[in-house]
Structure 1
Amino acid sequence: MDSDSKTDILEDDYYSVLNLPKSASPEEITFAYRRLSKIYHPDKHVDEKKKKDAEILFNKTQKAYEVLKDPHQRAIYDCVGVKGLKTEGWEIVHRTKTPQEIREEYEALARDREERMLRLRTNARGVFTAQIDATDIFEPNQYLDYDEDDSYIYIPNIEVSSMSMSMSTEAPITLRDTIVLSGNLSSRSGSVSSSYKRLLSTNGWVKYDLTAGNGLHVGAKIFKMITKTVFGTIEGSLNDLTSGSLRPVGRILLGTSLGARTTGCISLGGRVSSFKHTSLSTEIEHNTERSYCMCKLEIGLAPAISMLYTWKFIEQDLLLRIYAKAGALNSRLEYGVEKKVSKLNTFAATVQIDTINGVTLKIKFIRASHTYIFPILLSHDVITPPIFYATFVPIVSWFVAKNVILDPIMKDYKNREINKQREVNKKRMVELRQEALAAINLMMATMERIVREETIKSGLIIVFAKYGNADLINQSGLSSFDESDTLQPNIIDVTVPLQCLVKDSQLILHTTTKCQLPGFYDPCIGEDKVLTIQYTYRDQNYEVTINDNEPLRIPRPHSHLVRTSTPS
């Protein structure tokens, strides 16, 4: 979620208000409304304060019901939320249209907005690379600053061997046409290039390239989905690097899907005029949510086999990569890590061991659309000391920087965002808290009735439940909960509202935030929240903890059972 959305005024979630999934049928919507109406209807209460509270909650429940029972209003609400139901926010909707037509019209407007944004947007990207030669640290060849005792103080010579900068600007003209202008400037040469890409259909595109500077390059590439599982590309270029004449180069690739997450392809490419400079390669890729694997075999002037494997730690925004290549002319081993330290910042470090180029430590830092790369050559030969230091120094440096610099900065940033969100919704949160407390007060009679019914048949009894800050609840658990914990502003007791949601010895919660369920509110806006429930069923004790947006269905006798140790 971006920073803009974080500071929006909280809107009512009508599905959560009625404890319904977004796929709820009209019958389920009506049933949920009638069930809550029995609790909130003002005519069911004699006390004036309760009657006033019931009127507020009944109106809120009735509003949710009126929107969700009307197919037109529900279609608008599903597309753009509460703001779409306001007349000034949905001028384009004609009440004579069907819900499907409303959704289609909204999607068409969204595409129009996207096209207008494309015309106004340019995507600038930059890459800065500085080649650093630090081989003098591990391969000393110069001694300086002799002292009086003829001993010496050695100062390694570290220098920047080359630098390069490249900038590219992506300018979408329409949803189908994109132009990219780029330039590259290095300490030795420079070039300017442009490309034009057009989507021919949902199954293909064509791209043209032109590069001038340090020779001339003219190329074209066509991609086409041949069938649902087979695709191919054809590309050709004319290159003029040194000879002053254009040299034709071509490549043909044919790929196919070998499974839901596996792709295989074979390609043939090289100089059109010389068969000996042509190579044949075959490649297989397997990509899952947690890993990526690629194997490639090249046959030609320089035959080689290579493999790349990536472990994806999604929860930690961390990637671990290892790459190995064995070839007739050169062999290489690379391993490294890439860590997303914030929404816009990514840090990566890779160790490259090459039989020709020696040992190199590559540091990469990505900030938004700009990339900074620092390849540090540690030795011309493959020797142990630079490999050791290149592996462990970045790891130690990262942990020091993370604990001393990054963690405090990110913690401060998160706190500022939470405070901003709380300030914007300060008045709204007071209203929601008062509504939740009033709802619990109105629910007491219903809760007592449900408990009596469930007790008679040894059904589902909510012994205790709390909702709020994930860290505090996970640390304390239910066993250590006492009356004083109810005073904490970021944890609330939700036993009564959950018991009122029990029907036929079952409690079902859906994939929505729990803070807008009847009798709930958000006690710690902006923070991670969990719901912990202790319940009994068939005279057995159970306990479960779920995340805020996680669905739940209880009882679950096998997975939620509390195991008690028996004395020996």
Structure 2
Amino acid sequence: MSSSGMDKSWINIDLDPESENFDENEAEKHLKEMEEKLVATDDLYATLNVSRNASEDEIKDAHRHLSRMFHPDKQTDSELRESAQEQFHRIQRAYEILIDPKTRAIYDNFGEEGLKAKLDIGQRFKTAAEMRKEFEEEAARKYQKEVENLIRAKGNFTMQVDATQAVSEVVQDELIAQGQSWDPIPRVRMMALKHSVESQILPNIGLNLVASMVTKGKNGSGNLLGTLRYTHSPQSTFSVGLPLINPRKLILKSSFRPTSDTFYNIESTLKHNSLPAAVFTTGKSVKKNMTAFMSVQTGNEVLHSLLPEYSTKQREKSSATIGITGVSWKSNYNAQVTASARVSNISFSLSRDLDTNFKLNGGLMVAAAGSKNSGLAGLAAISTHVGGTAKITETTSIGWTTRVSLPNGIQLNLNFSHLGQTLSLPILLSPIPEPDIILLAAALPAIVGVGLHYTVFRPRRKRQLKQRIDDLKESQQKIIELRKKDAEHAVKLMKETIKRRKDAELRDKGLVIVRAVYGDIDSSSFITTDQKLSEIEKQQQQQQQQSDAGPIIDVSIPLQSLVYDKHLVLPGGISKSQLIGFYDPCFGSPKKLHIEYLFRGEKHCVTIKDNDPVAIPLRGHLINNRNVSP
């Protein structure tokens, strides 16, 4: 197979890392599709040319027909006998697997991997359902082991740094006015560590352990929270959490999803020194990519007034939140309003994907205080943030967020994530909004992040992607060359037999495949007018020679071999490239099968997509009513 034919499927993918036209998203998507399609194993149903719901009799008939055609004893030439032996073994293997209900069930559910694994699921006393369950359990154990080897736990380490004396002129001037010197070295104000592990102890029960620790100055605290999660069904879950160290509290959570576009959540925390409170949340999809939600926090003040004997200082205010969240093109957005007797707020956030591995985000929040906490004319707080995230590799990313707020000042948060482990570094730059620091804190990380993404990370991913595509092309070429060689041998073996059958069909005015081509074709270019069959066959030979340098192949002989009792039926859902005598001449490109045939001496023509079923003859394929002379 020539390289031109092979490369056609990649012609629309720009693989030059320096090219402005390189589309990383499309290239990655295309590559994943090609990696899934590049399978070196045969489709056993296509080998026998039967549908996936074929009966035992249909499988036996197909096996009988093909095994007779490719039986090695029919060949006198040693080379042809060897080729026939390979084809016969291929047919026999497909038959033995599909005729046995148990191995067929394994193949239908798990493909060749299931046949290779075999396990103990082939024992005679096990049903198909039991086999499927055992295989799934084994696959789950294997997957869990792989995941545990890759990511054993999730962790988060946060270190808050105070750099106000080193950065803020306001703080420096205030210290000087008080007769104090300012320290240019940032100080650590707080450190926090959170580590979690999760395990499935029973099929529907999971255990999650979260260890946390916080230190601030000379003070510190920590706890270990254990949570049991029970999955009643894919739509319903319930969990119970209990800290193992004081302060002890019972955390109850439940979620229910009655439909794919509606959910309900409830959470309640029970403390020994406080009356209970609960949070109810519900959401529903209002558009294809938009969900509206509402959350109500009951608080416990009402219970305190009703049960004064249980009143404590730990009181929680009630509140209600409504909002929407959704996705629009390459953006994610969230808007919500919270009403409370203490503080009400409105917030909006937006993130935008510049490409698959880089996104920017921003948001605004305004909070108003109640009459007892009126503050600045009712304004309790205002906060805005901008930031971004850049993916370095599939499992590693960096990010930054610059947050400016009243009354908390300016903070820059840097984070690094790798395989579920996150390092966060919040840096307090100024206790008040200072324009020059705001500009520097917002612009500098963005410039560095964008610069690294477009000059280092993205070009490196492009080169890695190009290498993957080159490797895939090499594998593709090897596999397709093998399939081409196998198809050519099959055609050579059946050529004489099919010629005799074709002549017999012509005499009986039966079904004769005049010409059939498969690949990346334009159907209109193959429709012919009336010709003598000898002229068509001559044109067919010329087309076959031309197809060696293009994305199509001649499959007239393989198709004629599948004619039974003046009919040809090809099942749907299977690529035609898997049929005996076929191969994929244009890997990755859409393929069609074009057939020109005679039935009762009349010319017919049809073009169908690769995975569509074929049933001929049909009156709808008739070109005209004039006979084609032999």
Normalising by structure 1, report the TM-score.
0.64
User: For the pair shown, which has the larger CA radius of gyration, 1 or 2?
Assistant: 2
Q: Which residue of 2 aligns with 1:186?
A: 215
Tell me, in whole angstroms, the C-alpha distance in 2 between the residues paired with 1:321 and 1:103. Answer: 45
Q: Which residue of 2 aligns with 1:207?
A: 240
Please state if 1:338 is matched with 2:368.
Answer: no
Deviations 1:275-327 (A, max 9, x none): 885132223454569664433221111011223344567x7245544333221
Q: Which residue of 1 aligns with 2:251?
A: 220
Tell me, in whole angstroms, the C-alpha distance in 2 between the residues paired with 1:536 and 1:439. Answer: 18
Contact 2:160 2:189 in 1 (8 A): yes
Amino acid at match of 2:202: T
- Say which of 292, 302, 306 aligns to 2:347: 306
Contact 1:351 1:362 in 2 (8 A): yes
Deviations 1:455-498 (A, max 9, x none): 9xx994888xxxxxxxxxxxxxxxxxxx9x97xxxxx9563469
**Greater length-normalized contact order (CA 8 Å, ≥ 6 residues apart):** 2
Deviations 1:196-253 (A, max 9, x none): 324163323132232757xx252321315396656341412438xxxxxx44452231
Q: Residues 534 and 419 from structure 1, CA distance in 2 versus in 1: closer, same or farther, beyond 3 angstroms?
A: closer
Q: Which runs of 5 or more structure 1 residues have no equivalent in the other structure?
A: 144-154, 240-245, 464-482, 487-491, 524-528, 539-545, 555-568
Alignment of 1:253-292 (within 5 A): 253-258=280-285, 262=291, 264-272=293-301, 277-287=316-326, 292=332
Q: Residues 303 and 535 from structure 1, CA distance in 2 versus in 1: closer, same or farther, beyond 3 angstroms?
A: same
Contact 1:280 1:298 in 2 (8 A): yes
Deviations 1:241-278 (A, max 9, x none): xxxxx444522314253557635233124344668851
Q: Which residue of 2 aligns with 1:162?
A: 189
Q: Which residue of 2 aligns with 1:560?
A: none
Contact 1:130 1:160 in 2 (8 A): no
Q: Residues 505 and 256 from structure 1, CA distance in 2 versus in 1: closer, same or farther, beyond 3 angstroms?
A: same
- Say which of 93, 98, 103 aligns to 1:63: 93
SS in 1 for 2:364: strand
Tell me, in whole angstroms, the C-alpha distance in 1 between the residues paired with 2:276 and 2:490. Answer: 79
Q: Residues 92 and 497 from structure 1, CA distance in 2 versus in 1: closer, same or farther, beyond 3 angstroms?
A: same
CA RMSD of aligned residues (A): 5.7
The percentage of aligned residue pairs carrying the same residue is: 19
Q: Residues 323 and 344 from structure 1, CA distance in 2 versus in 1: closer, same or farther, beyond 3 angstroms?
A: same
Contact 1:349 1:363 in 2 (8 A): yes
Tell me, in whole angstroms, the C-alpha distance in 2 between the residues paired with 1:459 and 1:283. Answer: 55
Q: CA deviation at 1:366?
A: 0.8
- Say which of 334, 338, 347 aligns to 1:294: 334
Please state if 1:365 is matched with 2:416.
Answer: yes
Greater share of helix residues, 1 or 2?
2
Amino acid at match of 2:115: L
Q: Which runs of 5 or more structure 2 residues have no equivalent in the other structure?
A: 1-27, 29-34, 174-181, 306-314, 369-379, 503-511, 527-545, 597-608, 615-630
Tell me, in whole angstroms, the C-alpha distance in 2 between the residues paired with 1:365 and 1:382. Answer: 26
Contact 2:513 2:595 in 1 (8 A): no
Q: Which residue of 1 aligns with 2:536?
A: none
Alignment of 1:475-514 (within 5 A): 495-496=553-554
Tell me, in whole angstroms, the C-alpha distance in 2 between the residues paired with 1:462 and 1:211. Answer: 76
Amino acid at match of 1:438: D
Q: Which residue of 1 aligns with 2:103?
A: 73
SS in 2 for 1:183: strand
Contact 2:278 2:298 in 1 (8 A): yes
Q: Which residue of 2 aligns with 1:398?
A: 449
Contact 1:497 1:520 in 2 (8 A): no
Q: CA deviation at 1:58?
A: 4.1
Deviations 1:405-432 (A, max 9, x none): 5457657877998999999x99xx9687
- Say which of 394, 400, 405 aligns to 1:349: 400
SS in 1 for 2:123: coil
Amino acid at match of 2:191: S
Normalising by structure 2, report the TM-score.
0.59
SS in 1 for 2:589: strand
- Say which of 455, 476, 484 aligns to 1:436: 484
Alignment of 1:448-467 (within 5 A): 452=515, 460=523
SS in 2 for 1:53: helix
Amino acid at match of 1:186: T
Q: Alignment length, in residue pairs?
A: 486
Tell me, in whole angstroms, the C-alpha distance in 1 between the residues paired with 2:327 and 2:50. Answer: 28
SS in 1 for 2:343: coil
Q: Residues 51 and 75 from structure 1, CA distance in 2 versus in 1: closer, same or farther, beyond 3 angstroms?
A: same
Q: Which residue of 1 aligns with 2:9?
A: none
Tell me, in whole angstroms, the C-alpha distance in 2 between the residues paired with 1:342 and 1:516. Answer: 40
Please state if 1:174 is matched with 2:225.
Answer: no
Alignment of 1:13-28 (within 5 A): 13-14=42-43, 18=47, 25-26=54-55
- Say which of 250, 269, 272 aligns to 2:277: 250
Amino acid at match of 2:337: L
Amino acid at match of 2:228: K
Tell me, in whole angstroms, the C-alpha distance in 1 between the residues paired with 2:459 and 2:257. Answer: 53
Q: Residues 435 and 399 from structure 1, CA distance in 2 versus in 1: closer, same or farther, beyond 3 angstroms?
A: same
Tell me, in whole angstroms, the C-alpha distance in 1 between the residues paired with 2:413 and 2:76. Answer: 75
Amino acid at match of 1:64: A
Please state if 1:103 is matched with 2:132.
Answer: yes
Amino acid at match of 2:338: E
Q: CA deviation at 1:159?
A: 1.5
Please state if 1:85 is matched with 2:115.
Answer: yes
Q: Which residue of 2 aligns with 1:531?
A: 589
- Say which of 226, 245, 257 aligns to 1:195: 226
Amino acid at match of 1:77: Y
Contact 2:293 2:324 in 1 (8 A): yes
Tell me, in whole angstroms, the C-alpha distance in 1 between the residues paired with 2:575 and 2:324. Answer: 36
- Say which of 52, 73, 76 aligns to 2:82: 52
Q: Residues 190 and 307 from structure 1, CA distance in 2 versus in 1: closer, same or farther, beyond 3 angstroms?
A: same
